[in-house]
Amino acid sequence: MKKIIVLISGSGSNLEAIAKACQNGSIAGSIELVISNQPNVKGLERAQKFHLMSNVINHKEFDSRESFDKALLEQILPVEPDLIVLAGFMRILGKDFTQAFEGKLINIHPSLLPEYPGLNTHQQAINNGDLMHGISIHYVNSNLDDGPIIAQGALKIDPNQSEAKLINRIHKIEHAMYPKVIEDISKGYISLKNGAVVYAKESHFSSNHMEFFNV
């Protein structure tokens, strides 16, 4: 059983999807710890609902990125995690942190990377008249929303739909794909070797995996 730590900053709907997949046994692992950099967020309530251990490390209480990362490390290291999952974690992690967990740190981002790293991805896609929008799941390196892509999911933008509706549709893709990627990592079907993603034949995914969703 792999030991998983999930880092969140907000609603935690991806955390919930992952917790369910751990509970029903499709992920060969368990969430040992949830850490939020924001107090009082819904994700912490969800953690409680699934009886997961959770902690807040409020970034506002630290005067530098390094000291925040150090506090994070102090919580993470004793757990000896096999995988750290960023699920709506909205802090940039420093190079020392990302290098310490190279190949064990994954992120989900609501855009078809390299398009739209950073914030407000949905509105940017709408404003630019894009036909497609989507999500990317990737190993994390020291750059923002960057690193080897494991899988991407896409949908067709309806120009008459609101941003809220688009976010909702994007979440459906995230909740379908993130647990599956974590399942494959937990079973050793996906890994990072020499900076490249390696897929076993048993994996749900393969290189340049782009799945279209009619959601």
Establish whether 37 is an annotated binding residue.
Answer: no
Q: b/e per residue, 49-67, with b = 16+ CB within 10 A? A: ebebebeebebeebeeeee
Choice between 143 and 207, CB closer to ligand GAR: 143
| Catalytic site positions | 109
Smallest gap from residue 133 Cβ to ligand GAR (A): 11
Choice between 77 and 144, CB closer to ligand GAR: 144
Establish whether 12 is an annotated binding residue.
Answer: yes
Q: Where are the alpha helices (DSSP H) in the chain?
A: 13-23, 42-49, 65-76, 95-100, 121-127, 163-186
Which residues here bind ligand GAR, judged by CB under 6 A? 8, 10-14, 43, 87-88, 108-110, 145, 174
Output the DSSP codes for 122-139. HHHHHHTT-SEEEEEEEE
Choice between 168 and 206, CB closer to ligand GAR: 168
Smallest gap from residue 68 Cβ to ligand GAR (A): 17
Residue whose pair of structure tokens reads 């995988």 in the numeric block: 83
Establish whether 13 is an annotated binding residue.
Answer: yes
Residue whose pair of structure tokens reads 């046994």 in the numeric block: 25
Binding-site annotation, residues: 12-14, 65, 90-93, 107
